[in-house]
Chains A and B, each alone.
Chain A
Amino acid sequence: MEGTRPTEGAGEAVSVEFRDATKRYPGAAAPAVDGLTLDVPAGEICVLVGPSGCGKTTAMRMANRMIEITSGDVLIGGSSVRERRPAELRREIGYVIQQVGLFPHRTIAQNIATVPALVGWDRERARARARELLALIGLDPDMADRYPSQLSGGQQQRVGVARALAANPGVMLMDEPFGAVDPINRERLQNEFLRLQAEIRKTVVFVTHDIDEAIKMGDRIAIMRQGGHLAQYATPAELLMDPADGFVEDFVGADRALKRLSLMRVSDVDLWQAPLAHVGQSTAEVRAKLDGAEVPYALVVDGERRPLGWLSDRNLAGATVPQSPDHSPDPKVEREDVLRDALSDLLQAETRYAPVVDAEGRIAGVLSVEIVSEFLTSDDARVEEHPAAERPLG
């Protein structure tokens, strides 16, 4: 952990460590953040989540000294933020807020180049960087010379992220960055950011009040409760499996079992196998395979093992397997589908079994409602390895 202080343009992700960090406002009866201790490993997204007034934003803002720490410390790349000059420190940390806060009098390119200008990049380099970032966040580089008022809310939010990335910080602080956009745009922005993060691998401290967003975005989630206490710090899967207490259980919601499904892909569960049949094969052979099979229906596949349909009793009564079986193979799900979506497809089609195909459309197994419900009650769903969850001190 020693000594990799973020330097200008270095951009290497570094760890963020809260060490008993406490914020106490003068005159307030209780601290806003009370002895927060947690480690965010380099390159991971840590989501601070909790009801309003739990101190999550205060905690985040202690990391760049937008709020002064009363006691304890925050270490970035192993060195204390308290020893840094606030303005200098902040230029090395990306900062995104819900209201975006673009400067209305500056063009998009100038907005993005805010920190590069502060740290003395020349105009050419800053401008090239702005264009590069516009492309990275999926905006037309021709937008560089527009003003913020000419952009939609979603576009402004993307520019806000680009601006935070401009000087290539190792750490990003994001305070409800997608909170002010409509649900459809929010989902798009979340997905874009996750895709971006897979590429840039920053250490991100992300604040939200929305547990679904936390589960979606976080490598780790810190649930905070009133009074600035950390209730639980864990991976999303662990949080949903083993809520530390009643508060966490309530906060993650009664549907936490279902939420776990959104963390899993179809390929994460053990699929069943259906007896496979080929067009023209004798039905006697197929009927023999059906005895004792996991799935009591036979699936017809083509020469490339792509599902054609399910055989009905009437099909099986014939001599050979027909070209077009009575029951369509739909819904088909893909191995990479999110388990929650796959289950939704199954339920919506009012069918018990769905063929699972790989990227080429070839059969990989069968997903059933039973598999999902067994999975949810089994220990397989527990995700191995997770560092000790920090419990509140008091």
Chain B
Amino acid sequence: MVGLLTQLPLIAQAGDFVRPPGEGPTSCVGENNTVCIGWALDNIDRWVTPTLEHLLLVSASVAAGFAIAFGLALLSHGRRWLEPTFIGATGVIYTIPSIALFLILLPITGRGTVTAVIALTLYNLQIIYRNIVTGLGNVPEASRDAGRGMGMTEQQLLWRVALPLAVPEIIAGLRIATVSTVAIATLAIFAGAGGLGDVIYTQGLQNDVFKTAIVVGSLIAIAMAVCFDALYVAGQRVISPWRKVRAI
């Protein structure tokens, strides 16, 4: 157990971090308890790599989560008995505390991005799967009957009718999953994967509280979540034009 704990980045990396220098055009950074925006802007390079890492973690785990949840949804489509099984299984995973899940995975997959992405992907399954399944159930009974009656096979009904009609629910699921992943991915630092957790925990909490880093890391995370959300909304407008159209 002790061996495991020493793998925690906080402990493992203790001492790696050098306090930001107090010089430069703005020197309010000397006081850790104030938020020093000027310094944060002057040192913009500090945030770029963690932000890109974070983007990668979120994109990769949401994409992988979607791919797996989509596969599960196709598998359980038309096999109703599988649905509670999948919802139950993904639900159990969802309840595992994230740091615990990282610790469980560390000995198996090692430190780094892969471990973090696996954990984050597992967390996404529940939300995305549930939404895909709900969305697939959206087809009006009359449309389903008309589709069959006109000679659509079950596969054609699924791909040409059910899935397009499920797009709004699927995107709603992706939005929730993405926003929560942006938040949870700040803990990926405990799997040694970097990201904004590097800013918030390593720079912000090392030795002493460094408020500027905590606030900057959080602001970037919030901005990232908002941008992702806007992308989804725009995407849905393009994919599901029928949804925004109102009856005259």
Q: Do A and B bind each other?
A: yes
Asked if A102 and B143 sit within 8 Å, CB to CB, the answer is: yes
Asked if B152 and A101 sit within 8 Å, CB to CB, the answer is: no
B140 within 8 A of partner (CB): yes
Q: Which residues of the other chain, B, contact A97 by a CB distance below 8 angstroms?
A: 142, 145-146, 149
How far does the alpha carbon of A150 sit from the alpha carbon of B244 in the complex, in Å? 11
Whose C-beta in chain A lies nearest to the C-beta of B166?
A105
How far does the alpha carbon of A30 sit from the alpha carbon of B141 in the complex, in Å? 27
How far does the alpha carbon of A102 sit from the alpha carbon of B140 in the complex, in Å? 9
Asked if B149 and A100 sit within 8 Å, CB to CB, the answer is: no
Q: Which residues of the other chain, B, contact A88 by a CB distance below 8 angstroms?
A: 151
B150 within 8 A of partner (CB): yes
Q: Point out the residue from B151, B164, B165, B243 that lies within 8 Å of A90, measured CB to CB.
A: B151
Q: Which residues of the other chain, B, contact A335 by a CB distance below 8 angstroms?
A: none
How far does the alpha carbon of A95 sit from the alpha carbon of B143 in the complex, in Å? 12
Q: Which residues of the other chain, A, contact B150 by a CB distance below 8 angstroms?
A: 90-91, 95, 114-115, 118, 163-164
Chain B's nearest CB lies how many Å from the CB of A172?
11
Asked if B242 and A104 sit within 8 Å, CB to CB, the answer is: yes
Chain B's nearest CB lies how many Å from the CB of A351?
47
How far does the alpha carbon of A100 sit from the alpha carbon of B152 in the complex, in Å? 16
Q: Which residues of the other chain, A, contact B167 by a CB distance below 8 angstroms?
A: 105
B240 within 8 A of partner (CB): yes
Q: Which residues of the other chain, B, contact A149 by a CB distance below 8 angstroms?
A: 242, 245-247
Q: Which residues of the other chain, B, contact A368 by a CB distance below 8 angstroms?
A: none
Chain A's nearest CB lies how many Å from the CB of B158?
13
Interface residue ranges of A86-144 to B (CB < 8 Å): 86-92, 95, 97, 99-106, 114-115, 118
Asked if A104 and B165 sit within 8 Å, CB to CB, the answer is: yes
Give the one of A97, A100, A147, A173 with max B CB within 10 A: A147
Asked if A99 and B247 sit within 8 Å, CB to CB, the answer is: no
B248 within 8 A of partner (CB): yes
Chain A's nearest CB lies how many Å from the CB of B167?
8
Give the one of B142, B149, B167 with max A CB within 10 A: B149
How far does the alpha carbon of A103 sit from the alpha carbon of B246 in the complex, in Å? 15
Q: Which residues of the other chain, A, contact B246 by a CB distance below 8 angstroms?
A: 149-150
How far does the alpha carbon of A114 sit from the alpha carbon of B160 in the complex, in Å? 10
Asked if A87 and B153 sit within 8 Å, CB to CB, the answer is: yes
A347 within 8 A of partner (CB): no
A66 within 8 A of partner (CB): yes
Chain A's nearest CB lies how many Å from the CB of B166?
10
Q: Which residues of the other chain, A, contact B237 by a CB distance below 8 angstroms?
A: none
Q: Which residues of the other chain, B, contact A168 by a CB distance below 8 angstroms?
A: none
Q: Point out the residue from B143, B152, B240 that lies within 8 Å of A87, measured CB to CB.
A: B152
Asked if B242 and A147 sit within 8 Å, CB to CB, the answer is: yes
A64 within 8 A of partner (CB): yes
- The interface bits of chain A over 39-78 (1 if a CB of B lies within 8 angstroms of the residue's CB, else 0) are 0000000000000000000000000101000000000000
Asked if B147 and A103 sit within 8 Å, CB to CB, the answer is: yes
Chain B's nearest CB lies how many Å from the CB of A62?
12
How far does the alpha carbon of A100 sit from the alpha carbon of B147 in the complex, in Å? 11
Asked if B152 and A105 sit within 8 Å, CB to CB, the answer is: no
Asked if A100 and B165 sit within 8 Å, CB to CB, the answer is: no
How far does the alpha carbon of A196 sit from the alpha carbon of B122 in the complex, in Å? 58
Interface residue ranges of A140-186 to B (CB < 8 Å): 147, 149-150, 160, 163-164, 173
Chain B's nearest CB lies how many Å from the CB of A336?
37
B32 within 8 A of partner (CB): no
B161 within 8 A of partner (CB): yes
How far does the alpha carbon of A115 sit from the alpha carbon of B144 in the complex, in Å? 14
Interface residue ranges of B104-145 to A (CB < 8 Å): 140-145
B19 within 8 A of partner (CB): no
B156 within 8 A of partner (CB): yes
Give the one of B164, B242, B243, B245 with max A CB within 10 A: B242
Q: Which residues of the other chain, B, contact A105 by a CB distance below 8 angstroms?
A: 161, 164-165, 167, 240, 242-243
Asked if B142 and A101 sit within 8 Å, CB to CB, the answer is: yes
How far does the alpha carbon of A169 sit from the alpha carbon of B240 in the complex, in Å? 31
13 contacts between A and B (CB under 8 A): A66-B149, A88-B151, A89-B151, A90-B148, A101-B140, A101-B142, A105-B161, A105-B242, A105-B243, A114-B150, A147-B242, A149-B246, A150-B247
**In the complex, the 3 A-B pairs of residues with the closest C-beta atoms, listed nearest first:** A101-B146, A101-B142, A99-B142
* Extra A-B contacts (17), CB below 8 Å, given A95-B149, A101-B142, A150-B245: A89-B151, A90-B150, A99-B142, A99-B145, A100-B142, A100-B146, A101-B140, A101-B145, A101-B146, A101-B147, A103-B143, A104-B140, A104-B165, A105-B161, A114-B147, A150-B247, A163-B150
